[in-house]
Amino acid sequence: MTQVTEQVKAYGNVINGESVPAQDGATTTSIDPATGETWAVIPSSSIEDAEQVIQAARGAFENWSSLSARTRGDYLRKVGDMISEHATELLELETRNNGWVLDEYGYLAEVLKQVWYDAAGSAALLGSQGRTVQMGTGDFGFTLRKPYGVVVGILPWNAPLFTFTIKAAYALAAGNTVVMKPSESAAVGSLRYGELISKILPPGVLNVISGSGRVIGDYLVAHKEVNKVSLTGSIGTAEMITKATAKSPKSLIFELGGKSPNIVFEDADIEQAAHGLISGIFTRNSGQLCVSGSRMLIQRTIYDKVIAHMKELMTDSEFVKHGDTLDKNNTMGPIANEAQYKKVCSYIDETAKDAYEVVFGGKYGGEHVLPGQPEYANGYWVAPTLVKVTDNNQKLCREEIFGPVAVAIPFDTEEEAIQIANDTSFGLAAGVWTKDLGRAHRLIDKLQAGNVWVNTYARVGVDLPFSGVKESGYGSDSILEYTQEKACVINIR
């Protein structure tokens, strides 16, 4: 059993405003993916803990939902204020959790704050979101926006604090109480975040429980007293949740994966586009981003030029710097956990096949990616890897890898680019690089994706919805999605 020491801290579940261990005392370890070493101990919760957390949220619902929306907004604004004070601690925990280099995270504290403030403001407006309906029958109809009840948020390991925030802030603003279930491989930041938030909100309004998805995740989502589930995760988990909720149907939001095309036309600003292709996958959490532009579609006339430029940048040791994830000078971190590391490595092995031509990368392991730095030898390091592909049917073009591995596919015409881009079961995001405004609009119209970016990539904001189409899911974490419209009719005859 791992000893709790000054270096290895223990974190608890957050239930009814208290930070508590699992009832049976079971724990698991949190591994720093940069070094492979244990750095924290977290609860390995059981069904008994899951039941307790649901009852805590259920018990707090009546009072929380009865507050005026403005009062709830006041609470949420205080949560936003709290983030400034604890940003450094939270971001460091997140970085040690999942290897996202701290420098890239700089913006995150601002985004989290913005979401809490936006949710606070939206709460104040919620009372005016109902509709009046002239029924023409001597009846007066109107609708009210009511909260669902208990909302369970199921979080992925790649962006725990962000997904925690967009789910919790809007669900709470709408009057729901919440249970957050972070990924067992990256729960520390969420447990500490929940502890800080629970000191601001009434007990039981926001709870956090850490444990296995198959055990407590499944129990939480199937529970009859849970009214809504919002998952950010993989299509496999969405399938399990769909089955688990079949006997107690509830409203679902699924924010799932992608195999997103990032398309460069010959009229684009090549320098800008090359940087956009790179930051769309490699230098953004080492490709562990749902919207990663993992399929680079490049017009044949500029294909070699763009690839050569990317190679020049990605083999420049000043541009790509692996190493200590807390060092702001580094630009790329490791893969977040062992299971995902093994998965990404299997795709790197796949690149050795004849169907692919490796442009750069193609290696993994601390000793190869960070040679001469033994402290990283057991970390989950993968070199950013680009392969040339001619056929979108190849395995690397079809499966979500969720790591720094991208394919470059040539195309000749706009129609062909659209056809290849849409030839995937996913539909989360797409990028388009062109100076032709008409073309940009045609692609926005035709691309099957929940998010399309032109001459930029992965730009999300509190003012815009974020969701996918096809197997990338449905629904979006927003205040209205956390309310249900109640229809009312008064007989005025």
List residues binding ligand NAD (CB under 6 A). Answer: 154-159, 181, 183-184, 213-214, 217-218, 221, 232-234, 237, 240-241, 244, 255-258, 290, 400, 402, 428, 468
* Cβ proximity to ligand NAD, 232 vs 434, nearer residue: 232
Pairing of strands 228-232, 251-255: parallel
Task: State the helix-helix crossing angle for 270-279 and 300-314, rounded to 10 degrees.
Answer: 60
Report, in Å, the least distance between residue 355 CB and ligand NAD: 24
- Would you say 213 or 276 has its CB closer to ligand NAD? 213
DSSP state of 351: T
What's the closest the beta carbon of residue 243 comes to ligand NAD, in angstroms?
9
Q: Closest separation between CB of residue 380 and ligand NAD, Å? A: 14
Please give the Cα distance from 457 to 428 (Å, whole number). 13
Beta carbon nearer to ligand NAD, 156 or 379: 156
Of 244 and 270, CB closest to ligand NAD: 244
Rounded-to-integer distance, Cα 100 and Cα 90, Å: 13
Give me the least distance between CB of 135 and ligand NAD, in Å please: 40
Minimum Å gap between C-beta 345 and ligand NAD is: 16
CB of 444 to ligand NAD, least distance (A): 19
Cα–Cα distance, 418 to 441 (Å, whole number) = 12
* Tokens read off for 94: 């997140």
What type of residue is 261?
Answer: P
Contact 207/57 with Cβ under 8 angstroms? yes
Q: Which is catalytic among the residues 290, 345, 397, 400?
A: 290
Task: Point out the catalytic residue in the list 255, 400, 471, 481.
Answer: 255
First to last CA, the chain: 73
Q: Which residue in this structure is represented by tokens 């000893």?
A: 3
CA dihedral sign, ordered 469, 472, 478, 481:
positive
Nearer of residues 253 and 297 to ligand NAD, judged by Cβ = 253
**60 vs 225: CA distance, rounded Å:** 13
| Tokens standing for residue 310 | 């990317």
Pair 232, 255: CB distance under 8 Å: yes
Choice between 289 and 370, CB closer to ligand NAD = 289
Nearest distance from residue 51's CB to ligand NAD, in Å? Answer: 15
Those residues with Cβ within 8 angstroms of residue 165's Cβ, 6 or more apart along the chain or in another chain: 111, 112, 115, 116
> Minimum distance from CB of 159 to ligand NAD (Å)?
5
How far apart CA 282 and CA 102 sit, in angstroms, is 15
Nearest to 424 by CA among 400, 398, 401: 398
How far is it, in rounded angstroms, from Cα 27 to Cα 41?
6
Give the contacts of 223 (CB within 8 A, at least 6 positions apart). 50, 54, 248
Q: What is the 3-state secondary structure (H, E, C) of 159-219?
A: CHHHHHHHHHHHHHHCCCEEEEECCCCCCHHHHHHHHHHHCCCCCCCEEECCCCHHHHHHH
Q: How far is the CB of 419 from ligand NAD (least distance, A)?
A: 23
The encoded tokens of residue 413 equal 């015409």
**Can 255 be counted among the known catalytic residues?**
yes
| CA atoms of 55 and 242, how far apart (whole Å) | 23
| Residue nearer to ligand NAD on the CB measure, 32 or 218 | 218
Sheet hosting strand 150-154, strand order edge to edge: 18-20, 13-15, 206-208, 177-181, 150-154, 228-232, 251-255, 473-474
Residue nearest to ligand NAD (CB): 213
Asked if 397 is an active-site residue, the reply is no
Nearest distance in Å: CB 208, ligand NAD:
12
Q: Mention every residue, 6+ apart, whose C-beta is less than 8 A from residue 412.
A: 299, 300
Show which residues are catalytic.
Answer: 255, 290
